Structure 1
Amino acid sequence: MKDRMNDVETRINDACIRSGRLREDVNMIAVTKYASLEVTAQIMSHGLIHVGENRWQNAEAKWNALGEEGIWHFIGHLQSNKVKDIINKFQYIHSLDKLSLAQELEKRASLLGIEVMAFVQVNISGEDTKYGLAPENVAPFLEEIKQLNHVKIVGLMTMAPFEGNPEDTRPIFRGLRKLRDELNRQSLTREPITELSMGMSNDFEVAIEEGSTFVRLGSILIGKEEG
């Protein structure tokens, strides 16, 4: 595992150099949805504090054991009736794409007196199989939720199609960055949107070159034997 982590670190550094970015501006999320508790603990012992899970039932045992040791990201599709399970456990929600979900997050967060940091999920590629708002619907959505005081929009998230040539994903990532910049020009959120959650094991270098601040890495870190 340490060798895989070192290899990923080198590739992230190289992508930052190519694009004139600072390494500290890119966060690596270890996607542990297929990893055991023991493997997740091993990953975190090597200094990876950002942990990504997509279902509470898979994350529960790991969070109960390791929740205080990392920063937890909910990266899967989130239904409103599941908010009660993950609220105040995951610091970041990467899959906000419905008003009803935003309202449920607001209700639960206000009762707890906390702020939820959320990414709006955008379906840049337009694939029917992917969740997320169409790009043209993001600005109206932000207008709808701007009065929610306990949900802070920190970024945008997208999933690119799996491509044999990662370079083919570049327009997807560039599109998300341009959308973020346009939304900021419109001042639709209380504070500027700074984060971009994009890039996975197959295409994270291209995503970094296009401005990703959070890359979501599973098999390339954990290894194929873990999923």
Structure 2
Amino acid sequence: MQDVERRLEDACARSGRRREEVNVVAVTKYVSAELAQRVAAAGCRHLGENRWPAAEAKWRLLQGQAVFHYIGSLQTNKVKDVVGRFDYIHSVDRLSLATEIHKRAASLGIAVPCFIQVNVSGEDSKHGLAPEGLAAFAESIRGLAGIRPVGLMTMAPFESEAEETRPVFRELRRLRDALNERALLAEPLTELSMGMSNDFEVAVEEGATWVRLGTVLVGKEDNG
């Protein structure tokens, strides 16, 4: 963890940012509840999971001690398991999903902070809106009080050289700023969820406010 912290501080220094501008989501989906508890106790209170069944034991163990982020692709029929348990959803990418989140949240009397997922790289293997559909999508969810869009999320291609991911992160920041200029949402988007173990330093240099770190921070257990 100390090495990751040093690398985050250096990336912030290179880009003229303050370290507190960047939040870390510790991706605990591959590790046990016990290790997730140790991660939270060490100061990484934001935990990332992508399936409720795998996250349930951690959620029950760490309620009140951790902030849970849903970082995987979310099916509409699984929304009932996620809303009310996860504090953030990073993968809103279609109107049917946004509507279902809204309905479930409204029934609970809450509004869920959400990231709109954009497939900046255009890879078929990745989920997310096409960049050219972002504005229309933003307009379509404006009236859904059960979701509170806070930013954009993307996943860059896995590259052997992290520098090659820079255009993807730079474009996500541009898309966020362009959306804010048009004021298509009730409130401006302030967040960018981008950057993983392989490329988080480049993401920070390009404006990430949330990085999602698994192997480089938490590791991976064979039985996780």
TM over 0.5: yes
Give, as a single letter, the amino acid of the residue that structure 2 aligns with 1:105. Answer: I
- 1:93 partner letter: I
How far off is 1:67 after superposition? 2.3
Give 1:46 deviation, angstroms.
0.4
Is 1:170 paired with 2:157? no
> Which of 119, 122, 127 pairs up with 1:123?
119
Task: Write the deviation string for residues 103-146 of structure 1: whole angstroms up to 9, x where unpaired.
Answer: 11111111111010000000000000000000010100011111
Residues 1-22 of structure 1 show CA distances to partners (whole Å, capped at 9, x for unaligned) of xxxx000000000000000001
TM-score scaled by length of structure 1: 0.96
- 2:5 pairs, out of 9, 32, 46, with 9
Residue 211 of structure 2 is aligned with which of 212, 215, 220? Answer: 215
Equivalences, count = 223
Specify the alignment match of 2:60 in structure 1: 64
The aligned counterpart of 2:108 is 112
Q: Deviations over 1:32-70 (max 9, x none)?
A: 000101110010010111000011111011101112211
Q: Deviations over 1:144-168 (max 9, x none)?
A: 1111112111000000000000000
Please state if 1:191 is matched with 2:184. Answer: no
- Given that 2:32 and 2:221 are in contact with CA atoms closer than 8 Å, whether structure 1 keeps it comes out as no
Q: C-alpha separation between the residues in 1 aligned to 2:215 and 2:154?
A: 19
What percentage of residue pairs aligned between the two structures are identical? 61
Quote the residue 2:199 is aligned against.
Answer: 203
Rounded to whole Å, the distance in 1 between the matches of 2:87 and 2:47 is 10
Structure 1 residue runs of 4+, over 6 Å off? none
Letter in 2 for 1:18: R
What is the distance in 2 between the residues matched to 1:72 and 1:196? Answer: 17
Instruction: Give the CA deviation at 1:223.
Output: 2.3
CA RMSD of aligned residues (A): 0.9
TM-score by length of 2: 0.98
* Contact 1:157/1:196, CA 8 A, preserved across alignment: yes
* Contact 1:77–1:95 (8 Å) recurs in 2: yes
Return 5+ residue gaps in structure 2 as ranges: none
| Alignment-mate amino acid for residue 59 of structure 2 | W
Q: 1:127 to 1:112 in 2, by over 3 A?
A: same
Letter of the 1:36 counterpart: S
Q: CA deviation at 1:30?
A: 0.2
Could you report, residue by residue, the CA deviation over 1:163-214 in whole angstroms, capped at 9, with x for unpaired residues?
A: 0000000000000000000000000111110000000000000000000000
Question: Which position in structure 1 is the counterpart of 2:41?
Answer: 45
The code of the aligned residue for 1:187 comes to A
Letter matched to residue 166 of structure 2: R
Unpaired runs of at least 5, structure 1: none
